[in-house]
Structure 1
Amino acid sequence: MLTPTQKQTAQSIVNLFETGVVLGDYGSVTVIPGDTGHLTFGRSQTTLSSGNLLDLLQRYCTNDGARFGPRLSPWLPRFKAIDLSLDNELRLHNLLRATADDPIMRETQDQFFDEVYWQTAARIAANLGITSALGTAVVYDSTVHGSWKAMRDRTMAQSGSLAALGEKKWIAAYVATRRAWLTNHPRSDLRKTAYRMEAFQRLIEQGYWGLELPLVIRGAEISLSTLRATPPGCYDGPQPGTRAIALQSPLARGLDVRLVQLGLSEQGVPIKADGIFGQTSANLLKQYQTKTGLPATGVADSTWIAHLIA
């Protein structure tokens, strides 16, 4: 059985593959042209077309304390219908980004991805006889990324069973088989993900079967300190109205900035609610102020913020 640190390390490897962040990007919204999953969201990038994104959002919205639940609930019927036009709904994308600032969404994602992906992968690994942390991480990655069963069967057909080869040789054969499949895949977006298997091949070559820390995956360090850090891109403050928001150096960041951007987005302004008030945000704010007959200062003071996000 894996230790809690080994489990978190395995999950962090896949987080890096999915969002480029050790702890995962809880507000990550992605639409890749040609991807059959369509709109994807969250720490481990669950998809619209699978129905799993609906499941995640329903769990969040049914929590009475969900800060953005009332705003998100009206979108759920379109998720249930697998409405692919959601790929292009900027207002929705910004709302999803904002939910990362809600601890309830982060906890919901942790529980959801653990149940839907990690526990499934752990059962698969155990049933197959895989006991190492690295081997379990490989299964977990394929559970998240897709096509585990097809690649398992291909590996067995080409190289033999795990019982015949032993765990380490079989995992190495599986990773090589999956890498070849990804490298030659007809979809260009999947060909670009062969790096996932290359990263596992390096860990295998270096003998990190216990996922001993620290590790470096795709240039990012996984260590006890990075595993215990605050997830990047999640803002617990400042609360809106406690300061004026304007273009400054360093750039203003935080919950209040995100909520102002979200408020502008809901008014039809084509802004990205990333919680960072840069030049683009300032320019779009000025344009909105001009359009609504307000002084075009590019500054959001407490009175204006209260009006926008009421």
Structure 2
Amino acid sequence: MLTELQKQTAKAIVNVFETGQARGDYGRVTLLAGDSGHLTYGMAQTTLGSGNLYLLIKAYCAAAGAAYAAALKPYLQRLADIDLRLDNDMTFRGLLTDAGADPVMQEAQENFFDRVFWRPSAEAASKLGLAEALSHAIIYDSTIHGAWAPMRDRTLVKMGQPGRAGEHAWIAAYVRERRNWLATHPNRLLGRTVYRMDAFETLIGAKNWQLALPVTVRGVRIEPVIFDYRPPVPVSAVDAATRNLRLTTPHMTGADVRSLEEALAKEGYAINVDGVFDEGLERALKSFQQEYGLFADGIAGPATRMMLGL
């Protein structure tokens, strides 16, 4: 079980990767040409292209006292539809930047990244029997950055289960595998993010598996005092084709829906595996989310997919 300080250190490392600041930058809006995530936002940079920006802004607008809720609510449907014209909507981008100074937005972001990314990544680590704080940080980084599952599977093929290979050896192999994937990726922007794995290799080389402080990541010193500070009132590896699956009219269909159905069927839910996201699938999904302590909204987003092993 990680301590709260270890958890915050792991998050701070990823914040440095995403925004250059250990505490993150709640109002940071980034748009890089060629980034499949399109517009990204917040302390750990969630993306328009994945549909996760919609989930964050929806949560913020529903929070009591959200100063920019009225201004942002008209954008919710466009966010849900992944309207890529929002990339260059300067009014929308300005609202996001301004909302970053709202303490309600800051709390919403902290809760969002914890619920949607940290908790599922910690569960993924637990399922593999990984207990070290550095291992958790590496999996959290991959969950935020994208493509955790395929890199995990490649490492399992080469190394077997961590329990057999040993946690330290398995994680070191995973970092090497992911670094090679990033370095050779056809999206040249991703090749520039190998610094993430280089930073983790440095921590592995120092045998800092417990994330003992202080640590310096990309020239940023992380020490306990930063976690007592409250601020005044970026390339994603997420495949833009990874949809947040939900009930729509007409119904969503496709291989991703079928994979969701198959995963729920393995969990014991009696559903028709036909590749169509219908009312029955929504009911089963909500039941699964409620059982595992997720927000039972019937949307198969990143947290739900992680819990299902997708």
TM tier relative to shorter chain: 0.7 to 0.9
Cα offsets for 1:126-146 (capped at 9, x unmatched)? 010000000010110011111
- Letter aligned with residue 201 of structure 2: Q
Distance 2:55 2:175 in 1: 30
Could you tell me which residue of structure 2 aligns to residue 119 of structure 1? 119
Cα offsets for 1:64-97 (capped at 9, x unmatched)? 3101111111111211221101000111111100
RCO greater where, 1 or 2, for CA within 8 Å and sep 6 or more?
2
Cα deviation, residue 35, structure 1:
1.3
Could you tell me which residue of structure 1 aligns to residue 216 of structure 2? 216
Distance 1:125 1:159 in 2: 16
Q: How many corresponding residue pairs?
A: 233
Identity %: 49
Cα deviation, residue 2, structure 1:
0.2
Q: Specify every segment of 5 or more residues in structure 2 that has no aligned partner in the other structure, as ranges.
A: 234-310
Distance 1:203 1:222 in 2: 13
- Letter aligned with residue 54 of structure 2: L
Q: Specify every segment of 5 or more residues in structure 1 that has no aligned partner in the other structure, as ranges.
A: 237-310
Q: Does residue 2 of structure 1 match 2:2? A: yes
Q: How does 1:1-310 map to 2 (within 5 A)?
A: 1-231=1-231, 235-236=232-233
Are 1:100 and 1:106, in contact at CA under 8 Å, matched by a contact in 2? Answer: yes
SS in 1 for 2:193: helix
Query: Cα RMSD (Å) of the superposition?
Result: 1.0
Are 2:172 and 2:201, in contact at CA under 8 Å, matched by a contact in 1? Answer: yes
Distance 1:159 1:132 in 2: 18
Distance 1:137 1:114 in 2: 13
Cα deviation, residue 120, structure 1:
0.4
- Letter aligned with residue 155 of structure 2: T
- Letter aligned with residue 169 of structure 1: A
**For the pair shown, which has the larger CA radius of gyration, 1 or 2?**
1
Are 1:135 and 1:209, in contact at CA under 8 Å, matched by a contact in 2? Answer: yes
- Letter aligned with residue 87 of structure 1: D
Are 2:15 and 2:24, in contact at CA under 8 Å, matched by a contact in 1? Answer: yes
Cα deviation, residue 227, structure 1:
2.3
Cα offsets for 1:166-212 (capped at 9, x unmatched)? 00010001001111111111111100000000000000000100000
Distance 1:75 1:148 in 2: 30
- Letter aligned with residue 195 of structure 1: Y
Distance 1:225 1:121 in 2: 26
SS in 2 for 1:193: coil
- Letter aligned with residue 15 of structure 2: N
Cα offsets for 1:16-60 (capped at 9, x unmatched)? 011111011101111111111111111111111211111110111
Distance 1:142 1:43 in 2: 16
Distance 2:13 2:159 in 1: 26
SS in 2 for 1:216: strand
Distance 2:64 2:154 in 1: 46
TM norm structure 1: 0.74
Are 1:22 and 1:227, in contact at CA under 8 Å, matched by a contact in 2? Answer: no
4+ residue segments displaced more than 3 Å:
none
- Letter aligned with residue 108 of structure 1: A
Cα deviation, residue 158, structure 1:
2.2
Distance 2:138 2:80 in 1: 31
